[in-house]
Amino acid sequence: MAKITLVIDAMGGDRGPSIAVAALIRALQSFPETDFIVTGDEPRLKALLARESKDTAVDLSRVRIQHTSQIVQMDDKPGQCIRQKTDSSMRAAIDLVADGTAQGCVSAGNTGALMAMAYMYLKTLPGVLRPALITPVPNQHGKQGFLLDIGANPVCDAETLFQFGVMGSVLARELNGIENPKVALLNMGTEEIKGPDVVKQAAMLLKQSSFVNYSGFVEGSELFTGEADVIVCDGFTGNIALKSCEGMAKMVYEHFQRNLKTHWLSRGLAWLLYKRQKKSWAWLNPDQYNGASLVGLRGVVVKSHGNASANAFYSAIAHAITETQLNLPARIHNQVEKVLSEQH
Amino acid sequence: MAKITLVIDAMGGDRGPSIAVAALIRALQSFPETDFIVTGDEPRLKALLARESKDTAVDLSRVRIQHTSQIVQMDDKPGQCIRQKTDSSMRAAIDLVADGTAQGCVSAGNTGALMAMAYMYLKTLPGVLRPALITPVPNQHGKQGFLLDIGANPVCDAETLFQFGVMGSVLARELNGIENPKVALLNMGTEEIKGPDVVKQAAMLLKQSSFVNYSGFVEGSELFTGEADVIVCDGFTGNIALKSCEGMAKMVYEHFQRNLKTHWLSRGLAWLLYKRQKKSWAWLNPDQYNGASLVGLRGVVVKSHGNASANAFYSAIAHAITETQLNLPARIHNQVEKVLSEQH
């Protein structure tokens, strides 16, 4: 494996830098070929690094702290961050990838600001219209698919959706080892006449391309069935789909929990059942799906959930390292160039 | 209660007329003030009515069969149905409401065709831009909200979304008895700057109106929290949100079931737990939520799920009867007129 450098924006997220630093210490142990730069408040990060590494054998010389004085808040507006947060930990992370000091970065901060900064200062690959936020999605066969866009671009034209299909294919092939990944569009029905015009136009483009294995429309109910390896939609739709799933799961879980409180016997039965089934649910553990990638940029940018635990943040770091080692941006660039030459 | 007449399209849905007829026999017993017209294949319906009513005391003189020769198939295109399925059970049902013979109808048939026929032959109320498909949604407090549009209008302008908020308010007030229902827009974030322009424009219109208690944006994760009594979105978004929930629930349920098969002890524990919790889950029984209403039309039109059981179809009939007895179309008309006079 080639030596790589990854930047960690340690000040993003709801839970402060201790989460990022704890995850980093674990990553230092698992990924000996990776060096790290941590952006944020230097005195605080120094103290945290010393504390978290105390009982480990990690070599802190592999970590460099880059001091920044500002923090992008979760409710900051992206435009304001571009203008005013020029010495923020997030901006420094993006700049370090843009100037080639690092090959990738991870942030748990404000998604809109991260997207805006990456678009503005790291820039999209030649030919790529818009970067997209892509997330792995578990499916019932224990395999993994991808859903994009999940929030970077609320409204997309057909050409942009088509490119999302191309970029999603590259990820499914490179990260999941699927030879000829099936690409579908998320729609309100599987018949060709269904849905908004922009989705139908994107279907035409995907069908015409010899570089995409287009399999048609899927519905929201097929997000987890493994029907497709890559599911494409605009960022508004992807956000609504994922958050609706979250709401559904939460409603059922909370009702179940509330019920259990009513009697010791229910509690006991549920506990026994949980013990028996625990292992088989590991594939659904949300921690391992933490880390949505911003694809289509001239470097690796991974967004951790704002509320991530250290374990989940570690998963996001691991994703970023894998993407960096595969040189995913270059592979996406190659594929997009081929597709563009087919079109013109 | 005033005497009303309801039409049942008996030939729609995936499971044939026996479901509709079984539900009808139950409705004849529960709703003595309602007469019914059943549209479809007369010999077949006659036989089914005789069979299903055999051991009951229902008075079949309250049911009239209107013979039709055609059936709208689930994969027929709406436009073709308008032109070619002029003697279908669905078209006859809509026509009977349009000419005043009946006040409402129920169909489990092709949603697109039902929407197209209702729009074309029953027509919208004066001032209403588009009819919307609205569904009750359970929430964690054991109460009920409404979500619209869930598929009748894939793309909507801001004015149409605004009217959906007005119509949803009327339903929440009249059907759920909520004095001043909270109306929210489904969006990809709760901050005012988030989301597509059309959603932001609809927010402006809702905020300005004195006839709507607008409460802001909600995310997909808040569909079931009771945050709002009415949640408004375009039909594409509503369809994706609901079907994503369905997919999530199915994935978890099927994995749970598959796990249970592995050991008799798990099966036993789950069964005991189910017995203890069964009652408390009744509020989530999908049967009782069957029946989405097409609102904004000059009569009551209720769409049952295509795959509904007799119990679920019965729920759809009960919904239609309630809406008809309340004269919901007239109440929506009044409210829309008030809103229009405020705007001009």
A131 touches A328 (CB < 8 A) = no
Angle A264-277/B264-277 helices, nearest 10 degrees? 150
Instruction: Say yes or no for a CB contact (<8 Å) between A151 and B188.
Output: yes
Chain A interface mutation, best of B240, B254, B258, B272, highest count of A Cβ atoms under 10 Å: B240
B182/B97 same-domain check: no
* E strand segments, chain B: 4-9, 34-40, 63-67, 104-107, 132-138, 144-148, 182-186, 213-218, 230-232, 292-295, 300-303
Q: Do A255 and B140 make contact, defined as CB atoms within 8 angstroms?
A: yes
Structural domain contains residue A74: yes
Phi, psi angles (nearest 5°) of residue B333: -55, -50
Boundary-marking domain end, from A238, A267, A299 = A238
Q: Which residues of chain B lie closer than 8 angstroms to A186, CB-CB?
A: 240
CB contact under 8 A, B220 and A237: no
Residue length of chain A: 344
A267 within a domain of the structure (yes/no): no
What is the domain extent for residue A36? Answer: 1-128+285-344
Question: pLDDT-derived band of residue B192, with 50, 70 and 90 as boundaries?
Answer: confident
Judgement on whether residues B149 and B68 belong to the same structural domain of the protein: no
Q: For residue B272, tell me if it sits in a domain.
A: no
Model confidence at B154, pLDDT cuts 50, 70, 90, reads very high
In order of A238, B160, B244, B289, the CA distances from B297 in angstroms are 32, 14, 28, 21
CATH of the domain at A172: 3.40.50.10750
Mark yes or no for CB contact B246/A220 under 8 Å. yes
pLDDT at A22 over 90: yes
Q: What is the CATH number of the domain that holds B339?
A: 3.40.718.10
Query: What ipTM describes this predicted complex?
Result: 0.87
How many angstroms away from the CA of B273 is the closest CA of chain A? Answer: 6
Does residue A256 have a pLDDT over 90? Answer: no
Q: How deeply is B253 buried, as exposed, middle or buried, from its count of CB atoms within 10 A (0-12, 13-18, 19+)?
A: exposed
The answer on B120 and B1 residing in a single domain is: yes
B62 and B152 assigned to the same domain: no
A271: pLDDT strictly greater than 80:
no
pLDDT of A282 higher than 70: no
Interface probe for A, chosen from B273, B279, B280, B289 (most Cβ of A below 10 Å), is: B273
Q: What angle do CA A298, A180, A202 make, to 5 degrees?
A: 65
pLDDT per residue over B282-294, tens digit each? 655 656 667 799 9
- What is the Cα–Cα distance from A92 to A82, expressed in whole angstroms? 12
pLDDT at A286: 59
Rounded Cα gap, residues A41 and A11, in angstroms: 8
CB-closest option in A220, A225, A255 to B240: A220
A263 touches chain B (CB under 8 A): yes
Distance CA B50, CA B38 (A): 14
pLDDT of residue B65: 97
Helix runs in A158-196, H state only: 158-176
The answer to whether residue B273 neighbours chain A at the CB level (below 8 Å) is: yes
Out of A222, A266, A280, closest to residue B277 by CB: A266
Residue B255 sits in the same domain as residue B293: no
Answer yes or no: is pLDDT of A77 > 70.
yes
The residues with which A74 forms a beta bridge, in sequence order, are none
Residues B242 and B317 in one domain: no
DSSP string covering B54-72, please?
Answer: TTS---GGGEEEEE-SB--
Find, in chain B, the residue whose alpha carbon is nearest to that of A193: B77
**Beta carbons of B220 and A239 less than 8 Å apart:** yes
Of A170, A205, A238, which residue is a domain's last? A238
Angle between helices A235-260 and B235-260 (to 10 degrees): 40
Number of domains making up chain B: 2
pLDDT at res. B308: 87
- Same domain for B121 and B149, yes or no, is no
Is A266 a member of any domain?
no
Of B7, B1, B21, nearest in space to B308 by CA: B21
Residue B101's pLDDT is 97
CB pair distance less than 8 Å for B220 and A247: yes
Split at pLDDT 50, 70, 90, the class of B167 is: very high
Q: Are β-strands B104-107 and B230-232 bridged in parallel, bridged antiparallel, or unpaired?
A: unpaired
The pLDDT of residue A134 is above 70? yes
Q: Are residues A42 and A149 in the same domain?
A: no
Last residue of a domain, one of B260, B294, B313: B260
Q: Verify that B140 and B238 share a domain, yes or no.
A: yes
Chain B residues touching residue A223 (CB < 8 angstroms) = 244, 247-248
- The answer on B246 and B149 residing in a single domain is yes
Alpha-carbon A235 to chain mean position: 13
Is there a domain that residue A243 lies in?
no
As a whole number, mean pLDDT of residues B10-16 equals: 89
Backbone φ/ψ region at B36: left (φ over 0), alpha (ψ -120 to 50), beta: beta
Is there a domain that residue A275 lies in? no
CB neighbourhood size of A87 (10 A): 12
Cβ–Cβ gap A239/B248 under 8 Å: no
Å from B153 to nearest chain A CA?
Answer: 9
A4 lies in the same domain as A123: yes
pLDDT at B277: 66
Give the pair of three-digit tokens for residue B336.
């829309």
- CB contact set of A268 (below 8 Å; sequence gap of 6+): none
Same domain, A90 and A67: yes
At residue A278, the pLDDT reads 67
**pLDDT at position A192, please?**
81
Q: Per-residue pLDDT averaged across B316-330, rounded?
A: 95
Is B277 a domain residue?
no
- Say if residue B62 is exposed, middle or buried (CB neighbours under 10 Å; 0-12, 13-18, 19+): middle
CA distances from A29 to A32, A102, A287 (A): 6, 19, 19
What mean pLDDT, rounded, does chain B reach? 91
Does any domain span residue B9?
Answer: yes
Which residue of A233, A240, A262 to mutate against B (max B Cβ within 10 Å)?
A: A240
Summary mean pLDDT of chain A: 91
Q: Is the pLDDT of residue B257 over 80?
A: no
- Contacting residues of B for A249, CB less than 8 Å apart: 248, 252
Q: Do A245 and B242 touch (CB under 8 A)?
A: no
- Quick check: bond before A9 cis, omega within 30? no
